[in-house]
Structure 1
Amino acid sequence: MDRAPGLSVRLKLTLSYAGFLMLAGALPLAAVWIFILRHLPDYTSVPGGVLSRTTLLRDFASAAGAVLLLLLMFGLAGGWILAGRMLAPLTRIADATRLATTGSLSHRIRLPGRRDEFRELADVFDGMLERLEAHVAEQQRFAANASHELRTPLAISKALLDVARTDPHRDIGELVDRLHAVNTRAIDLTEALLLLSRAEQRSFTREHVDLSLVAEEATETLLPLAEKHGVTIETCGDITPTIGSQTLLLQLTMNLVQNAIVHNLSEQGTVWVNTSVRPKTVVLAVENTGETLTPRLVSTLTEPFQRGTERIHTDHAGVGLGLAIVKTITHAHDGTLTLTPRSAGGIRITVELPATAPHTGR
């Protein structure tokens, strides 16, 4: 937006320094006038003759004017230099800001010297640039992965249709089933992306939620899937009141339990779902048996389209956004997500959210 032109900060500081210096010089001169010169007699004897009070005052005024002029010139010159040195860190920060507006986020100010207000401002700006660079890189990876994942079912659909066009004797029922499966996967991926975007924008209504009831609903819903995979679900816990979106927290719990079921032992696997209360937080923990995972691999599982094992070709294989959605929903509720590999195999995932007083409806 257009603004009216004005004095620069450097010029304002320069005038302030010069004005203060002149004031500091004028005070002693005024003191000399008030306490000494105004009380002199009309004529004063000096070596070599008599000096009138008028002459003495005239000489004093001339000398005082010269001193004030000298102080003004010195204050302007020195103030300009001092202001420039004082504002040099702001110039570096402004240059870094201009670079950031052009899309360059890799540079850092790294202001030298001891910690002061300018150094703190520069360090905060460097931290902001670092977080922005990481966020932009993550969004770019996400966009690339999402494009790839969306392109795959579309390419498969096109290939199936091309085959059907060139082979009129192909089984139509089989073609329809495969197209239905591919289309279902594309819809699931699109809905997951929309859910992820909604959680990131925090565009949801907050209400009182009991995580223990959410966990109970999720496990009951996914019990047939667990039975199909030969997995046993064990649940326990306390009343865990928090505030958030009932729908999103249910989706979070469903994703955790479903991942724990699907990524489990081939037979006789177990999933533990537990809720607990801490002094200021409530905790939902989902733990399962399974393959042994390294801490390095576990640290990447919340990235979009990352999987701890090879892609699983089942009807509940997911679209690679399960834990990414869990991470986003957790952060949208001001919570903490922790993934820890189990020494015996499998993983333990905990979601810690702010606790509230139990809500009693009428």
Structure 2
Amino acid sequence: MDRSPGLSVRLKLTLSYAGFLMLAGALLLAAVWVFLLRYVPDRAMLVNADSVTPGVFPVRSNLLHVFAPRAAAVLAFLLVFGLVGGWILAGRMLAPLARISDATRIATTGSLAHRIRLPGRKDEFRELADAFDTMLARLEAHVAEQQRFAANASHELRTPLAITQTLLDVARNDQDRGNDELVDRLHAVNTRAIDLTEALLLLSRADQRSFAGEPVDLSLIAEEATETLLPLAEERDVTIETSGDRTPTIGSAALLLQMTTNLVHNAILHNLPEQGTVWVTTSAHPESVVLTVENTGDKLTPQLVATLVEPFHRGTQRIRTDHAGVGLGLAIVRSITQAHDGALTLTPRAAGGLCVTVQLPAAPPDARTCP
């Protein structure tokens, strides 16, 4: 936005300081003048020792001639002192803003690693500088995450395209080869590309919070997700146990269903080879609702668990060759949880497996009628 040039803040503060000092000095001199006018007589009697007749001479007029020049000199001194002192004081007061402005200019060039780190005790300028440093840290982390995500997404999308190109090149060079096998492999690769694209779109939708909030019962969402995945659980010899109370919250029913489905799906896939168990529970608290998905499985280290929510991360201890997925399951869960102002916690079980807890804000009492 183009703006016309104006006075600097330092000059404005200097003029304000000088003007206030001049006003205070003028009021003080006026008070002194009123005091003198009240208590100094208009004329005074002068008695001569050699004469019996006293002399009379004016006093206030002489006082005015003496007081006025000195008052003007005092006001002139106050003006100069106010301008010089105000300029110095304004500079010292605005020094933190100069550092904040420098940091802002550096940030606009794309360098987000710079921090103000304003020294001194806590005041308004320190709070502003600390808030700006916090914003820069979060922005730097967000940009780094987006760059890493874009690189991973490009790599993941390039893989099925490269496989498709290879299959087509082989088919072109080998005209005698049957098309059935080629079609099947192309169908599988295309399905994977579609799944990955839909997952990326869902992740973007969750990150942008482009949904309208509505009353949702998280326990009903959990029941629907488990019923949908029950055939997969039976196929993999996994038992699903559900329990819990009514858990009303506010959010997107479709996104919360996707979040719960991803959690239950992962719990089924990354389980014991046979006779595995998945526990899905919901609980309601005064100001929050909690969804917990827990499963048996291999023992996991805290270091591995801490990386599972990263996009396109597939831990070698948690992958199965028959169902690798697109690597966005828990990343989508985290984004949906954050979009609903919730908290996601992953904890390795001592006996093996993983415990995932999603805590969301409870719906207000007047909005707990879920569809």
Please state which band the TM-score falls in when normalised by the shorter chain.
over 0.9
Q: Which amino acid aligns with 1:336?
A: A
Q: Deviations over 1:270-290 (max 9, x none)?
A: 111111111211111100111
Q: Which residue of 2 aligns with 1:10?
A: 10
Q: Which of the pair has more CA radius of gyration?
A: 2
Q: Which residue of structure 2 lines up, in the alignment, with residue 125 of structure 1?
A: 132
Q: Deviations over 1:319-350 (max 9, x none)?
A: 00000000011111111111111011110001
Counterpart residue number, 1:135 = 142
Residues 188-226 of structure 1 deviation map (CA, whole Å, 9 limit, x = unaligned): 000000001111111112221111111111111111111
Change (3 A) 1:143 1:46: farther
Pick the aligned partner of 1:244 from 246, 251, 270.
251
Alignment TM-score, normalising by the size of structure 2: 0.93
Q: CA deviation at 1:19?
A: 1.3
Q: Structure 2: where are the runs of 5+ without partners?
A: 49-54
Q: CA deviation at 1:298?
A: 0.8
Q: Which amino acid aligns with 2:15?
A: L
Please list the CA deviations of residues 40-71 of structure 1 after superposition, one character each: whole Å capped at 9, or x if unmatched: 34445799996753232122100100010011
Residue 222 of structure 1 is matched in structure 2 by 229
Distance 1:6 1:268 in 2: 77
Matches of 2:11 and 2:234 in 1, distance apart?
Answer: 77
Asked if 1:313 corresponds to 2:324, the answer is: no
Q: Report percent identity of matched pairs.
A: 75
1:276 is matched with: 283
Distance 2:74 2:337 in 1: 69
Change (3 A) 1:361 1:249: closer
CA distance in 2, matches of 1:235, 1:216: 8
How much is the aligned-residue C-alpha RMSD, in angstroms? 2.0
TM-score by length of 1: 0.95
Distance 1:293 1:153 in 2: 30
Question: SS of 1:351's equivalent?
Answer: strand
Tell me whether 1:110 sits opposite 2:117 in the alignment: yes
Q: Could you give the per-residue CA deviations for residues 8-53 of structure 1, whole angstroms, max 9, x where no partner exists?
A: 2111111111112122222221112101135534445799996753
Supply the distance in 2 between the matched residues of 1:305 and 1:280 (Cα, whole angstroms). 33
* Aligned position for 2:349: 342
CA distance in 1, matches of 2:227, 2:46: 112
Change (3 A) 1:360 1:2: closer
Give the secondary-structure state (helix, strand or coil) at the position aligned to 1:36.
helix
1:20-39 equivalences in 2 (<5 Å): 20-37=20-37, 39=39
**Structure 2 CA distance, aligned partners of 1:259 and 1:309?**
14
* Equivalent-residue separation in structure 2 for 1:234 and 1:32 (angstroms): 91
Task: Write the distance in 2 (CA, Å) between the matches of 1:46 and 1:341.
Answer: 106
Partner SS for 2:316: coil
Partners of 1:109 and 1:34 lie apart in 2 by 53
Aligned mate of 1:75, from 82, 100, 105: 82
CA drift of 1:106 comes to 0.1
The equivalent residue for 1:196 is 203
Partner of 2:62: 55
Question: Whole-Å Cα distance in 1 between the matches of residues 352 and 64 of structure 2?
Answer: 98
Gaps of 5+ in 1: none
Match status 1:257 vs 2:260: no
Residue 301 of structure 1 and its aligned partner are, at CA, apart by 0.9
Kept in 1: contact 2:279–2:294 (CA 8 A): yes
Is 1:84 matched up with 2:76? Answer: no
Equivalences for residues 168-187 of structure 1 within 5 A:
168-187=175-194
Choose the corresponding residue for 1:300, options 307, 318, 329.
307
Amino acid at match of 2:214: E
Structure 1 pair 207–298 and aligned structure 2 pair: CA distance change class (3 A): same
